[in-house]
């Protein structure tokens, strides 16, 4: 597993879906994960340091875990199947460690709130990543490349889509 951090949160201009970009620490590889708007808002609010008088859903879970005398120690983005990513929350209570199956988007929102470390499988970064570059040399002058939406693409097609995706093609997500 490779340690990653939330590099950015954006909006895929082709699909109008929020995307969280995880980047390996000390490296250039990234892992984009298309997520839902509610989870994107939860991530964006935490990144912006927004606090509310009453706990929101992603605030409640860490409170519950702490109340039970446990801590979220890390989040693992473990695999992808049929364009769906899977994650595990690793929770420690005393000497006992256990994992909970969770969606990556929820796990990331919780990890940010608990200061838990984020990890992704090396094969995910290798097989489904693109480098953050300022531009694509194959792109036409003065414009981006029309790309198909990522959902429903095979592994090789998805790799090509991500390789050609320019970070500027992702708009900023605002909660």
pLDDT > 90: percent of the chain: 52
Q: CA-to-CA distance for 14 and 167, rounded, in angstroms?
A: 13
Q: CA-to-CA distance for 67 and 58, rounded, in angstroms?
A: 15
Q: What is the pLDDT of residue 110?
A: 96
Q: What is the pLDDT of residue 130?
A: 44
165 pLDDT band, cuts 50/70/90, is: low
Element of type H or E holding 101:
strand 96-102
Task: Tell me the pLDDT of the chain averaged across its residues.
Answer: 79
Task: Provide the angle, in degrees to the nearest 10, between the axes of the packed helices 104-114 and 37-47.
Answer: 20
Question: Does the structure show a pLDDT above 80 at 89?
Answer: yes
Q: CA-to-CA distance for 11 and 79, rounded, in angstroms?
A: 23
Phi, psi of 40 (to 5 degrees): -60, -40
Q: What is the pLDDT of residue 90?
A: 98
Architecture of domain 2-172: Roll (3.10)
Q: What is the pLDDT of residue 136?
A: 36
Task: Tell me the domain boundaries of the chain.
Answer: 2-172
23 pLDDT band, cuts 50/70/90, is: very high
Q: What is the pTM of this model?
A: 0.73
Radius of gyration for the chain, computed over Cα atoms and rounded to the nearest angstrom: 17
pLDDT in tens, 63-83: 999 999 999 999 999 999 988
Q: What is the pLDDT of residue 118?
A: 98
């Amino acid at each position: 597993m490779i340690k990653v951090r939330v590099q950015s949160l954006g909006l895929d201009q082709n699909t109008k879906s929020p995307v969280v970009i995880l980047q390996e620490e000390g490296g250039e590889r990234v892992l984009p994960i298309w997520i839902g708007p509610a989870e994107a808002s939860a991530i964006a609010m935490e990144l912006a340091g927004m606090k509310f008088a009453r706990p929101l859903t992603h605030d409640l879970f860490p409170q519950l875990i702490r109340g039970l005398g446990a801590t979220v120690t890390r989040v693992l983005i473990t695999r992808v199947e049929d364009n769906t990513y899977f994650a595990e929350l690793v929770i420690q209570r005393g000497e006992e460690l256990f994992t909970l199956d969770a969606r990556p988007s929820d796990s990331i929102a919780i990890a940010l709130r608990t200061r838990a470390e984020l990890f992704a499988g090396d094969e995910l970064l290798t097989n489904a990543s693109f480098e953050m570059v300022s531009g694509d040399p194959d792109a036409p002058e003065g414009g981006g490349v029309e790309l198909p939406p990522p959902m429903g693409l095979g592994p090789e097609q998805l790799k090509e889509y991500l390789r050609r995706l320019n970070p500027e093609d992702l708009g900023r997500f605002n909660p």
